[in-house]
């Protein structure tokens, strides 16, 4: 691939269609939720100035909503509202509520009491006092709240891509997964610019004098509606089946690109985070998803893997990747890590994953049980000869492996261990490794070949999907290029796979990806 | 005109106003005087129901105001606040036009009335489109007064209207206030803690303390016939000046010497205040002034003769 040569500008020009769509979706998402938040927050803010006894409760609840991590909030929304635009808009509007309610409340209670008294004394009724005196005078403060909410929304809306609601997050998270800096920047820069632009425009509005503000505020709802209309809901059109693919899968040769080129598969596709993808498939929001063949949720949600009859998904055998200088520094390390080699096959890994992902057992417990069952566990030696830093990506399997390695190192060597688990994606993990932030982490041969080395199509074809050839290839190239060593494979193959609900696949008679294509093209 | 019966207001356990009754005659200028927390402002605000009484009755022109919708009641009562309470986002013209707007006057009528008032209050029409923060304190207070007067309400309530002004501006506005014909037609209830102001502007004064009325009477009654030592102590400072302000020429008429009519620069009616008459000597630089009483009876007197009559009057009061 010529990613290194391609400039950011080149990427953006090449992807301008997508960039425009995503930007418009992003603006739309931001403003639909903002609009609804104003519709709810403004009256609520006014209400609590009238009934002060509720102000603590209302502001308290809005404050608590604000503290929920955005990913978690989006996660809560799935069971209630499914995936797509609805949960994203609801989550965004919940974030926007606090600044709007709080500033409405502060703004109105801050209006000079002499002015309010004059308004009442001249014979205005409570609505006239509100609309002629309180709201106009509180408007700069209320606008400041709306401004804060807008900037928050532009930021949080990047996460909407996790639940298939589109927006610039598709580029950002796709880029992180694919180790493609240009793609990250193509999403991040427009998102940042949007935040700065809206902040600037609203600050201008806020500092207009009170007279001009009247007209400006009258125009505001119209503007909000126009901005909102930029958002066309991604799932508005549909085919027979809907596929949900992760941003990473969307951009990979061994992912959606391969599906299109080798199988000619055309399916209505939305982009979604793998954290919610399985559940969405289970709840029939999605029909086909891009999963991992050892994922515990496969078992939990009754999904089956479609057979890859044209062999586009290369093998993804897991093995620890270690920096050579760490191996020199910790002579015992390689031997210890290799103790796991060949111990875990696909079905064992699926079961271990099932226990963490579905039975919610802690990775630590699952790891210990496994080591005990295979008589590999030894009590800690509490050694203090240096600290081995273990990294892991942000999904269950990696956590379990990291725990196993930590226990083995503590039990068999005199090294201490620091774990840095939950590093977002391949790029983040690999950068941490090369920048000496961690000493090793479990990686997959396929990921090494395609995502990290960005190998050309010719190279990939020449390896022909053979597991040993690929392992040897990445081992040699990593050694030469990064001075990083691939240790022995653990045994299981966590390859990409297309999955469907068991029942649906049976009903439709779909067993292979080619079957799926035939079904989609049949009338 | 206004009749207050057995009016009380409690805030929790605190009795802000404690069973007070008083009456105000038409076109009378009643001052509610007292220190902070004596209940004078609470009393005033109950008259237009900014504060709802705990018990008691209020009648304006024989109608029980507690039975009327408060908004309608308030549109018929002018109200002037200490910190003017002008709408910062309205121009001067818009501020003055608030009540007519509520009463749905047509545009022409509003415009005419606003410019009429500006003229009477010595405000330049160029201020019409200015915002309150572009005006001086005195000008703002005039606009506040115009806003209260615009719909020509028969009753005007004023809550320390001149309290925020400096002394020079205040005495200037006092003079205009007394000269304004619009105000002469009004029944006015004004709250102040300033004894001088009360004596200068009030026809009658209600001296309040701890939610009760201690004495209700003309300035002269309060000065020369105080009901108790509280009233006496309250008026102790600058007593001489107060006495001058409380008395009118008619009060000391009998002690003024009769004399032949002579030409003087200053001719005063006998209902002129004594303080004003004394100032007259200074301003016109005259030796003598002429005073006309009813039936065209005229006395021409000098400064010493006026002062002598004043002391005679005082002596007689203390003997009574």
Domain boundaries, chain B: 2-237, 247-319
Q: How far is A110 from chain B, CA to nearest CA, in Å?
A: 14
Per-residue confidence at A467, pLDDT binned at 50, 70, 90?
A: confident
B73 to chain A, any CB pair closer than 8 A? The answer is yes
Tell me the chain B residues in contact with residue A211 when contact means C-beta distances shorter than 8 Å.
Answer: 89, 131
SS3 annotation, chain B: CEEEEEEEEEECCEEEEEEEEEEECCCCEEEEECCCCCCHHHHHHHHCCCCCCCEEEEEECCEEHHHCCHHHHHHCEEEECCCCCCCCCCCHHHHHCHHHHHCCCCHHHHHHHHHHHHHHCCCCHHHHHCCHHHCCHHHHHHHHHHHHHCCCCCEEEEECCCCCCCHHHHHHHHHHHHHCHHHHCCEEEEEECCHHHHHHHCCEEEEEECCEEEEEECHHHHHHCCCCHHHHHHCCCCHHHHHHHHCEHHHHHHHCCCCCCCCCCCEEECCCEHHHHHHHHHHHCCCEEEEECHHHCEEEEEHHHHHHHHHHHHHHHHHC
Cα–Cα nearest to B306, from B283, B272, B295, B320: B272
pLDDT in tens, A471-487: 999 999 999 999 999 99
Residues 6+ apart with CB under 8 A from A427: A175, A176, A177, A178, A179, A451
Q: What DSSP letter does each residue of A82-145 carry, written as one string?
A: -SSHHHHHHHHHHHHHHHHHHHHHHHHHTS-HHHHHHHHHTT--HHHIIIIIIHHHHHHHHHHH
Residue B4 confidence (pLDDT): 94
B74 to A123: CB separation less than 8 angstroms, yes or no:
yes
A126 to chain B, any CB pair closer than 8 A? The answer is no
B74 to A115: CB separation less than 8 angstroms, yes or no:
no
| Residue B214 C-beta-side C-alpha neighbours within 13 Å | 24
Nearest CA in chain A to B131: A211
To probe the interface with A, which of B51, B89, B94 has the most A CB atoms within 10 Å? B89
A121 to B102: CB separation less than 8 angstroms, yes or no:
no
Residue A148 confidence (pLDDT): 92
Tell me the chain A residues in contact with residue B79 when contact means C-beta distances shorter than 8 Å.
Answer: 118, 121-122
What ipTM does the predicted assembly reach? Answer: 0.86
Tell me the chain B residues in contact with residue A140 when contact means C-beta distances shorter than 8 Å.
Answer: none
Query: What is the average per-residue pLDDT within A269-273?
Result: 81
pLDDT in tens, A322-369: 999 999 999 999 999 999 998 998 889 988 988 887 888 899 999 999
Domain ranges of chain A: 8-228, 242-310+498-521, 318-494
CA separation for the pair A334, A317 (Å, rounded): 18
CA gyration radius for chain B? 22
CA separation for the pair B34, B42 (Å, rounded): 12
To probe the interface with A, which of B50, B81, B85, B88 has the most A CB atoms within 10 Å? B85
From A123, A132, A214, residue closest to B99, measured CB to CB: A123
CATH fold for the domain made of B2-237: Rossmann fold (3.40.50)
Question: Could you say which DSSP state residue A306 is in?
Answer: P
Residue B114 confidence (pLDDT): 93
Question: Could you say which DSSP state residue A243 is in?
Answer: E
Tell me the chain A residues in contact with residue B132 when contact means C-beta distances shorter than 8 Å.
Answer: none
Find residue B301's DSSP bridge partners: B289
Q: How far is B87 from chain A, CA to nearest CA, in Å?
A: 6
From A117, A122, A214, residue closest to B99, measured CB to CB: A122
A114 to B81: CB separation less than 8 angstroms, yes or no:
yes
Find residue B59's DSSP bridge partners: B3, B64
Nearest CA in chain A to B84: A114
pLDDT in tens, A211-268: 666 777 777 777 777 777 776 554 434 467 888 888 778 877 778 888 888 888 888 8
CA separation for the pair A442, A458 (Å, rounded): 26
B298 to chain A, any CB pair closer than 8 A? The answer is no
Answer whether residue A3 shows pLDDT above 50. Answer: no
Answer whether residue B40 shows pLDDT above 70. Answer: yes
B74 to A125: CB separation less than 8 angstroms, yes or no:
no
From A112, A122, A136, residue closest to B98, measured CB to CB: A122
How many CB atoms sit inside 10 A of residue B62's CB? 7
Match 């800690």 to its residue by tokens.
A380
pLDDT in tens, B268-279: 888 888 888 888
To probe the interface with A, which of B46, B78, B81, B87 has the most A CB atoms within 10 Å? B87
Domain A318-494 CATH (choose: 3.20.20.70, 3.40.190.80, 1.10.260.40, 3.10.105.10): 3.10.105.10
A122 to B75: CB separation less than 8 angstroms, yes or no:
yes
Nearest CA in chain B to A140: B89
Q: How far is A28 from chain B, CA to nearest CA, in Å?
A: 33
Tell me the chain B residues in contact with residue A122 when contact means C-beta distances shorter than 8 Å.
Answer: 74-75, 79, 98-99, 102, 147
Three-class SS state of A322: strand
How many CB atoms sit inside 10 A of residue B128's CB? 16
A208 to chain B, any CB pair closer than 8 A? The answer is no
Tell how strand A318-323 and strand A484-486 pair up. antiparallel
Domain A8-228 CATH (choose: 1.10.510.10, 3.20.20.70, 1.10.3720.10, 1.25.10.10): 1.10.3720.10
CA separation for the pair A351, A115 (Å, rounded): 70
A123 to B71: CB separation less than 8 angstroms, yes or no:
yes
CA separation for the pair B203, B187 (Å, rounded): 11
CA dihedral B80, B81, B83, B84 (to 10 degrees): -30
B48 to chain A, any CB pair closer than 8 A? The answer is yes
Structure-block tokens of residue A457: 């199509």
Answer whether residue A75 shows pLDDT above 80. Answer: no
CA separation for the pair B286, A153 (Å, rounded): 80
Q: What DSSP letter does each residue of A254-283 carry, written as one string?
A: TTHHHIIIII----EEEE--HHHHHHHHHT
Q: Cβ(B114)–Cβ(B128) under 8 Å?
A: yes
pLDDT in tens, A178-202: 778 888 899 999 999 999 999 998 8
Tell me the chain B residues in contact with residue A210 when contact means C-beta distances shorter than 8 Å.
Answer: 88-89, 131
Over chain B, what is the mean pLDDT?
89
pLDDT in tens, A132-149: 999 989 988 999 999 999
Residue B2 confidence (pLDDT): 93
Q: How far is B49 from chain A, CA to nearest CA, in Å?
A: 8
With a pLDDT cut of 70, the percent of chain A lying above it is 96
B89 to A211: CB separation less than 8 angstroms, yes or no:
yes
A325 to chain B, any CB pair closer than 8 A? The answer is no
Nearest CA in chain A to B80: A118
| Residue A118 C-beta-side C-alpha neighbours within 13 Å | 27
B102 to chain A, any CB pair closer than 8 A? The answer is yes
Tell how strand A242-245 and strand B55-60 pair up. unpaired
Is the C-alpha dihedral spanning B142, B148, B150, B153 positive or negative?
A: negative
Residue B270 confidence (pLDDT): 83
Answer whether residue A105 shows pLDDT above 80. Answer: yes
Q: When comparing pLDDT for A437 and B320, which is higher?
A: A437
B85 to A125: CB separation less than 8 angstroms, yes or no:
no
Q: How many CB pairs under 8 A join A and B?
A: 64
With a pLDDT cut of 70, the percent of chain B lying above it is 99
A118 to B89: CB separation less than 8 angstroms, yes or no:
no
Domain B247-319 has CATH 3.40.50.720: no
Q: When comparing pLDDT for B95 and A237, which is higher?
A: B95
Three-class SS state of A320: strand
CA separation for the pair A329, A325 (Å, rounded): 6
Residue A509 confidence (pLDDT): 87
B180 to chain A, any CB pair closer than 8 A? The answer is no
Q: Into which CATH architecture does domain A242-310+498-521 fall? A: 3-Layer(aba) Sandwich (3.40)
Q: Cβ(B35)–Cβ(B209) under 8 Å?
A: yes
Query: What is the average per-residue pLDDT within A12-34?
Result: 87
Residue B248 confidence (pLDDT): 86
pLDDT in tens, B219-278: 988 988 889 999 989 988 888 888 888 888 888 888 888 877 777 888 888 888 888 888
Q: When comparing pLDDT for B164 and B137, which is higher?
A: B137
B79 to A210: CB separation less than 8 angstroms, yes or no:
no
B74 to A112: CB separation less than 8 angstroms, yes or no:
no
Residue A233 confidence (pLDDT): 52
Answer whether residue A1 shows pLDDT above 70. Answer: no
pLDDT in tens, A400-431: 999 999 999 999 999 999 988 878 778 889 99
Q: How far is B153 from chain A, CA to nearest CA, in Å?
A: 11
pLDDT in tens, A79-95: 788 777 888 889 899 98
Residues 6+ apart with CB under 8 A from A94: A65, A73
A120 to chain B, any CB pair closer than 8 A? The answer is yes
Nearest CA in chain A to B78: A122
Query: What is the average per-residue pLDDT within B136-143?
Result: 89
Q: What DSSP letter does each residue of A410-424 carry, written as one string?
A: HHHSS-EEEEEEEE-
Give how far the C-alpha of residue B188 lies from the chain's centroid of Cα atoms, to the nearest Å. 7
CA separation for the pair B175, B183 (Å, rounded): 12
Residue A4 confidence (pLDDT): 47
CA separation for the pair B274, B305 (Å, rounded): 13
């Amino acid at each position: 691939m010529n990613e290194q040569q391609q400039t950011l500008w080149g990427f953006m020009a090449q992807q301008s269609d997508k960039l425009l769509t995503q930007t418009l979706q992003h603006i739309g998402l931001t403003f639909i939720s903002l609009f609804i938040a104003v519709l709810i927050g403004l009256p609520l803010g006014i209400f609590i100035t009238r009934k002060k006894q509720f102000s603590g409760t209302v502001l308290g609840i809005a404050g608590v909503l604000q503290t929920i991590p955005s990913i978690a909030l989006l996660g809560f929304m799935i069971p209630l509202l499914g995936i797509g635009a609805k949960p994203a808009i609801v989550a965004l509007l919940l974030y926007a509520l606090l600044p709007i309610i709080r500033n409405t409340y502060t703004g109105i209670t801050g209006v000079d009491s002499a002015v309010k008294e004059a308004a009442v004394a001249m014979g205005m009724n409570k609505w006239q006092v509100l609309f002629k005196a309180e709201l106009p005078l509180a408007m700069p403060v209320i606008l400041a709240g709306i401004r804060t909410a807008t900037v928050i929304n532009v930021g949080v809306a990047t996460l909407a891509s996790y639940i298939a609601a589109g927006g610039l997050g598709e580029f950002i998270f796709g880029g992180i997964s694919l180790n493609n800096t240009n793609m990250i920047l193509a999403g991040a820069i427009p998102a940042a610019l949007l935040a700065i632009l809206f902040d600037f425009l609203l600050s201008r509005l806020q500092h207009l004098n009170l007279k001009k503000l009247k007209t400006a505020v009258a125009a505001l709802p119209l503007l909000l509606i126009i901005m909102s209309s930029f958002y066309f809901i991604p799932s508005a059109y549909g085919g027979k089946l809907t596929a949900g693919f992760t941003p990473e899968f969307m951009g990979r040769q061994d992912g959606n690109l391969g599906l299109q080129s080798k199988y000619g598969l055309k399916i209505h596709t939305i982009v979604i985070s793998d954290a919610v993808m399985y559940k969405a498939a289970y709840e029939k929001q999605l029909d086909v998803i891009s999963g991992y063949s050892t994922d515990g949720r496969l078992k939990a949600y009754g999904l089956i893997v479609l057979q890859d009859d044209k062999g586009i998904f290369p093998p993804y055998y897991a093995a620890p990747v270690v920096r050579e200088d760490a191996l020199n520094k910790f002579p015992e390390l390689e031997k210890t890590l290799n103790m796991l080699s060949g111990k875990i096959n696909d079905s064992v890994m699926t079961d271990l994953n099932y226990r963490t992902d579905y039975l919610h057992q802690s990775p630590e417990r699952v790891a210990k049980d496994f080591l005990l069952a295979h008589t590999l566990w030894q009590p800690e030696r509490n050694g203090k000869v240096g600290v081995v830093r273990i990294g892991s990506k942000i999904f269950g399997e990696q956590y379990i492996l990291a725990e196993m390695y930590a226990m083995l190192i503590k039990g068999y060597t005199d090294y201490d261990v620091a774990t840095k688990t939950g590093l977002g994606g391949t790029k983040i993990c690999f950068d941490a490794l090369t920048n000496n932030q961690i000493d090793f982490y479990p990686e997959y041969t396929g990921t090494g070949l395609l995502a990290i080395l960005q190998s050309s199509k010719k190279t990939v074809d020449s390896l022909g999907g053979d597991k040993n050839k690929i392992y040897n290839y990445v081992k040699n190239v990593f050694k030469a290029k990064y001075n990083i060593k691939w240790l022995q494979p653990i045994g299981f193959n966590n390859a990409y796979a297309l999955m469907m609900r068991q029942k649906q696949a049976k009903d439709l008679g779909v067993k292979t990806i080619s079957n799926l294509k035939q079904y989609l093209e049949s009338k | 005109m206004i009749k207050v019966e057995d009016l009380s207001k409690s805030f929790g356990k605190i009795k802000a106003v404690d069973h007070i009754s008083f009456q105000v005659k038409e076109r009378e200028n009643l001052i509610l005087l007292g220190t902070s927390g004596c209940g004078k402002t609470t009393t005033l605000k109950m008259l237009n129901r900014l504060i709802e009484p705990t018990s008691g009755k209020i009648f304006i022109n024989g109608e029980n105001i507690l039975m009327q919708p408060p908004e309608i009641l308030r549109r018929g009562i002018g109200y002037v606040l200490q910190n003017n309470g002008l709408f910062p986002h309205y121009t001067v013209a818009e501020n003055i036009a608030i009540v007519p707007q509520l009463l749905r006057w047509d545009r022409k009528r509003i415009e005419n009335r606003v410019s009429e008032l500006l003229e009477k209050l010595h405000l330049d029409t160029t201020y019409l489109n200015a915002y309150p923060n572009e005006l001086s304190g005195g000008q703002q207070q005039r606009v506040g007064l115009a806003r209260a007067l615009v719909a020509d309400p028969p009753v005007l309530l004023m809550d320390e209207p001149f309290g925020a002004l400096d002394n020079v501006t205040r005495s200037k506005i006092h003079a205009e206030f007394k000269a304004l014909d619009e105000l002469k037609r009004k029944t006015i209830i004004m709250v102040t803690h300033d004894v001088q102001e009360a004596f200068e502007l009030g026809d009658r004064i209600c001296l309040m303390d701890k939610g009760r009325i201690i004495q209700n009477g003309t300035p002269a009654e309060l000065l020369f016939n105080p009901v108790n030592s509280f009233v006496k102590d309250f008026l102790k400072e600058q007593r001489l000046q107060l006495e001058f302000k409380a008395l009118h020429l008619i009060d000391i008429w009998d002690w003024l010497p009769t004399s032949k009519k002579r030409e003087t620069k200053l001719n005063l009616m006998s209902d002129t205040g004594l303080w004003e008459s004394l100032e007259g000597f200074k301003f016109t630089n005259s030796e003598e002034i002429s005073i006309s009483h009813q039936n065209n009876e005229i006395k021409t007197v000098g400064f010493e003769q006026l002062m002598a009559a004043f002391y005679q009057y005082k002596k007689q009061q203390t003997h009574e």
